[in-house]
Structure 1
Amino acid sequence: MKVKKVLKLSVLAVLFIALAGYVVYAMTSMTKPDPEEICRGVVLVIEDNGSADFVDKAKVESLLKAQNLYPVGRKCADIDTRTIEEALKRNPFIERVECYKASDGKFCINVFQRTPVMYIMPTGKDGYFVDSNGEIIPNTNFASNIVVATGDIDKKYAVKELVPFGKFLQNDDFWNNQIEQINVSKDREHQRVVELVPRVGEHIVYMGQMEGFEKKLKRLKTFYRKAMGQVGWNKYVKINLEYDNQIICTKK
């Protein structure tokens, strides 16, 4: 009886191993790419970052066709995903690209645009966008409601001081809707100082230097909440936040 039981278990083990081997072989055969398969289409997705529309599907297709990289009609085995990704990332409006081959003969491309946080208009120079990483985006016909910074601005100041401020505004619904424009000038000590132009109210907000802007805007928000409802939004022409722990208002 023991011999028969051992033989039975041995036969079952052999059958199980054979079945497992067949399953592995079948799956490998099914997923093995056909070297002659032709790309039948492109699934192109422009990822929405909520604030940019620099590129569209037609633009991406045009970029690939201009460099003879458009996948449709080519053998899938000959399509180099890395080459396509690098070609698209050379476009100044594109931050990241992900490409992969699908199993149905289609090629997938996901394009991630740069996220503009501010439009810079330096005095006497061409305007440009800056993105959330501090990268310069060339001027374009792109229309947006992001804040505009004007005045005495060089690119170093834009990246170091204005980009963090722009990111702060975008991450705060109240300030993102309230601040419309930033004016940058130099004071008597030749230090850059900032004025804010709000959408609501006929006043200018004088920030002074950008250092400590979060605390300054926190004081201003408290002032808005406690005072503006009583005196009205148009009572003052200037609100000064330059000095710590105080707000100086100039009446009309």
Structure 2
Amino acid sequence: MTKKGIRRFFTWLLALLLLGIMGYSYLAMRGQARYIVQPNRTRVIIHGGEKGFLDKEDVTHVLPIDITDTTTISVDLAAIEGRVKHEIPYAKEVNAFISPTSRQMTVQVESRKPILRFFSDHGSFYLDDEGNPMRTKVGVSVYLPIVRAERVDSLTLKQTLLPLSQFMQAHEEWASFFSVIELKEGNRLHFYPRVGDYIFEVLGTNNLEEELPKIHTFYKKIVPQVGANRYQLVKLSYAGQIVCKKRD
């Protein structure tokens, strides 16, 4: 390498080093920096989630400022972001920034998205679209598939409830057909239709696409032959057949 090439190399290396130091310094200092804002100009923007699940009032309620105040004050943006995310379990990401000309603070919150509601021996929870549980929100009604289970661990959340909820999202006709889904021992799922007192059973979630349509076959071919009151438990996970258990 020529002397000119070596100088150029070290010049770029020094420039990259300085850029890295500046970036690190910005991140390190941002948590300590304070910015002047006019509280009554504060904007709260909600992205994602279900309509009405997370609203602006939820965010303004936990802000360390009175958004009706017209007196300028100093705020710590990093502290505000941390507070919103800590106080609101439904907030996935929080980003706060300030317009230097208008002194207007904007707080953008990306909402977690509930896709299923489940009841366990630990209480009532939502499952979000990443397979993470969160407490249900008081006073908010979100139309979601409902699952009952005695015990739900992290493995059950990721391997059973998450794929089940994803299937229901992709097949709204089934989500509206069932009122409740119950998780039993042995990873058996019991589906209870909104109309009638049948119980449709499948083993796990791997073959829902093929197994649930057997319900149509049950109603069209079996019920007309034997009557509506002969069977109660209808097992759908047997290859090429439907196994029915008589009512007690």
TM-score in terms of structure 2 length: 0.67
Task: Call closer, same or farther: CA 1:104–1:228 in 2, change over 3 Å.
Answer: farther
Residue 92 (1) aligns with residue 89 (2): yes
Q: What amino acid is the match of 1:223? A: T
Determine the C-alpha separation between the residues in 2 that align with 1:51 and 1:161: 26
Q: What amino acid is the match of 2:129? A: S
Sequence identity (%)? 18
Task: Call closer, same or farther: CA 1:45–1:227 in 2, change over 3 Å.
Answer: farther
Match for 1:223 among 214, 217, 224? 217
Residue 42 (1) aligns with residue 42 (2): yes
Task: Call closer, same or farther: CA 1:36–1:45 in 2, change over 3 Å.
Answer: closer
Q: What amino acid is the match of 1:212? A: N
Determine the C-alpha separation between the residues in 1 that align with 2:124 and 2:102: 45
Task: Call closer, same or farther: CA 1:49–1:229 in 2, change over 3 Å.
Answer: farther
Task: Call closer, same or farther: CA 1:168–1:98 in 2, change over 3 Å.
Answer: farther
Residues 95-174 of structure 1 correspond to what in structure 2 (within 5 A)?
Answer: 95-102=92-99, 103-122=101-120, 124-141=121-138, 142-156=140-154, 157-174=156-173
Q: Can you list the C-alpha shifts for 1:120-174, whole angstroms capped at 9, x where unaligned? A: 222x432222211111202442333312221333222133211211121022220
Determine the C-alpha separation between the residues in 1 that align with 2:38 and 2:51: 37
Determine the C-alpha separation between the residues in 1 that align with 2:37 and 2:91: 30
Residue 213 (1) aligns with residue 211 (2): no
Task: Check conservation: 2:163, 2:205, Cα contact below 8 A.
Answer: no
Q: What amino acid is the match of 2:190? A: E
Question: Could you say what secondary structure the match of 1:127 adopts?
Answer: strand
Tell me what 2:233 maps to.
Answer: 238
Determine the C-alpha separation between the residues in 2 that align with 1:105 and 1:61: 17
Q: What amino acid is the match of 2:82? A: E
Task: Call closer, same or farther: CA 1:39–1:92 in 2, change over 3 Å.
Answer: closer
1:95, distance to aligned residue in structure 2 (A): 1.2
Task: Check conservation: 2:119, 2:148, Cα contact below 8 A.
Answer: yes
Task: Call closer, same or farther: CA 1:234–1:41 in 2, change over 3 Å.
Answer: farther
Determine the C-alpha separation between the residues in 1 that align with 2:36 and 2:129: 43
Determine the C-alpha separation between the residues in 2 that align with 1:51 and 1:36: 32
Determine the C-alpha separation between the residues in 2 that align with 1:197 and 1:51: 27
5+ residue gaps, structure 1, are: 1-34
Task: Check conservation: 2:36, 2:75, Cα contact below 8 A.
Answer: no
Task: Check conservation: 1:128, 1:137, Cα contact below 8 A.
Answer: yes
Question: Could you say what secondary structure the match of 1:144 adopts?
Answer: coil
State the 4+ residue runs in structure 1 displaced beyond 3 angstroms.
35-40, 68-75, 78-83, 102-105, 224-231, 233-236, 249-252
RMSD, aligned α-carbons: 3.4
Determine the C-alpha separation between the residues in 2 that align with 1:69 and 1:82: 18
Q: Can you list the C-alpha shifts for 1:61-92, whole angstroms capped at 9, x where unaligned? A: 12112xx59796445xx544443223212221
Q: Can you list the C-alpha shifts for 1:175-222, whole angstroms capped at 9, x where unaligned? A: 121122111222xxxx231101122333111112333223222444x5
